[in-house]
Amino acid sequence: MGVLSSISYVFVAPFRALRYRSASPEMRARMIKLGVICRKSWILFPPLMMYQYIREKDKEMYTAELFYKNSHSEDPACFYDPSKPSGTRPWKIQHDMALLSAAANDRLN
């Protein structure tokens, strides 16, 4: 049981060190300050995450529109098909991105 007890000590030791009852007064003050900061700043994260999501989605859709415009294709479903599950890119964009990557890395014949 020596190995298991040492493994459990690794996981339990940080929690024992941060216990409020056994902490010094300075450590208690730090814990309270950290709690206040977390309580006051958590409201900033959901709007920032939503902003980042919208920005990336706009960038992705703009790229799809540029590919469609510059390809002179008559079939927009090749570039954007709303009937496909979300998160999957259409095959045409994947093919174009592979060609761009190959050209950028000089792997094109």
pLDDT at 109: 54
Distance CA 52, CA 46 (A): 10
Q: At what angle do helices 91-104 and 45-71 cross, to 10 degrees?
A: 90
pTM of the entire structure?
A: 0.47
Please check the confidence at residue 87 and state whether its pLDDT lies above 70.
no
pLDDT at 85: 66
Distance CA 91, CA 97 (A): 10
pLDDT at 101: 79
- Condensed to tens digits (0 to 9), the pLDDT of residues 2-57 reads 788 888 888 888 777 777 777 788 988 888 898 899 899 889 999 999 999 999 88
pLDDT at 5: 81
Distance CA 94, CA 88 (A): 10
